[in-house]
Structure 1
Amino acid sequence: MPMTATPVIPISESPPVFSWPTRVYWEDTDAGGVVYHARYVAFMERARTEWMRAAGYGQDLMRQDHGLVFVVRSMQLDFLKPARLDDALSVSAVLLKCRRASLLFAQSVRREGEVLLTAEVRIAALGTSDFRPRGMDDAVYDVLKALETPESDY
């Protein structure tokens, strides 16, 4: 699987799915030779971060220009099959719901199209000054809302 430096959110797919490639390294595996469960959380964090960057709102920009940070509020993970050392993985992120102060993502980790993990991740938008829930600016909200994929389409 080729590693691309700047993936984009494909507009032509239905539903639009953002995918971020990664590979399994020694540091990702446990004593049994499979990916340690917590590493999947890191893989998904990177995919969501790159999804935001591709949408035009990188984390640093959101923090500096909008006084907003996105944090994980909850996640539900379903581990289906193990990934192993040197596997080329594709980590997807699909925005299911966009609200003023929260985002809901469906995510998956795949190896050559085979689903290894599925997850639902709820993100809270917090103000940087007090780390309390805060709604997104209209400009940010409008862009992200347009990328929402109804759950029935995913």
Structure 2
Amino acid sequence: MAEVSDRPAEGRFEGREHRFPVRVYFEDTDLSGAVYHANYLRYMERARSDMLRVGGIDQRATFEAGEGSYAIASVAIRYAAPAKLEDALLVVSRIRRVRSAGVTIHQRVMRDGLVLAEADVVAALVAPNGRPRRQPRAWIDIYERLVWQGEA
């Protein structure tokens, strides 16, 4: 069994907010040394996946049982400032809205409290045939307990 220190970094919940640390590596940057714009989406995807796993939603088991998987239905992202090589970032994720087939998540990528990028992401559960399907009731219950009540 692997030592705790050998395990991948993972985020944690503070109340209803999921916090996920990220380090900027050379491969994340563009020619100017700033994080390439699409990599913010990668950081957010990792944070969302970790949030679901830590929160008790087993996406892998649902997929392997042939019941479907999440697909991103929409992303509205805003960039405010660049991240640079070796920056220590924090992706903060909050559940904003729960629907029968999907969930809206607000995410911010931050450095030392400064918002560098933020997005509203809608993830929909889709059946193997690609059609939206209802989320398991247990998942909806988890999301409803996590819905953010405060300001963005």
TM-score of the superposed pair, with normalisation by structure 2: 0.88
Match for residue 8 of structure 1?
12
Q: What amino acid is the match of 1:133? A: P
Q: Tell me if 1:103 matches 2:107.
A: no
Is contact 2:75-2:119 (8 Å) kept? Answer: yes
Displaced runs of 4+ in structure 1, greater than 6 A? none
Query: Identical aligned pairs, as a percentage?
Result: 33
Match for residue 131 of structure 1?
130
Q: What amino acid is the match of 1:75? A: V
Offset at residue 7 of structure 1 (A): 3.0
Match for residue 46 of structure 2?
46
- Structure 1 vs Structure 2 CA RMSD: 1.8
**2:113 & 2:86 partners in 1: Cα distance?**
16
Label 1:55 to 1:22 Cα distance change in 2 as closer, same or farther (>3 A): same
Offset at residue 137 of structure 1 (A): 1.7
Label 1:140 to 1:66 Cα distance change in 2 as closer, same or farther (>3 A): farther
**2:138 & 2:102 partners in 1: Cα distance?**
15
**1:30 & 1:6 partners in 2: Cα distance?**
26
**2:63 & 2:105 partners in 1: Cα distance?**
20
Aligned length: 146
Q: Secondary structure at the match of 1:123?
A: strand
Is contact 2:70-2:125 (8 Å) kept? Answer: yes
* Structure 1 unpaired stretches of 5+: none
Match for residue 22 of structure 2?
22
Match for residue 32 of structure 1?
32
* Structure 2 unpaired stretches of 5+: 1-6
Match for residue 122 of structure 1?
122
**1:135 & 1:105 partners in 2: Cα distance?**
17
**2:59 & 2:136 partners in 1: Cα distance?**
15
Q: Which moved more, 1:130-139 or 1:29-38?
A: 130-139
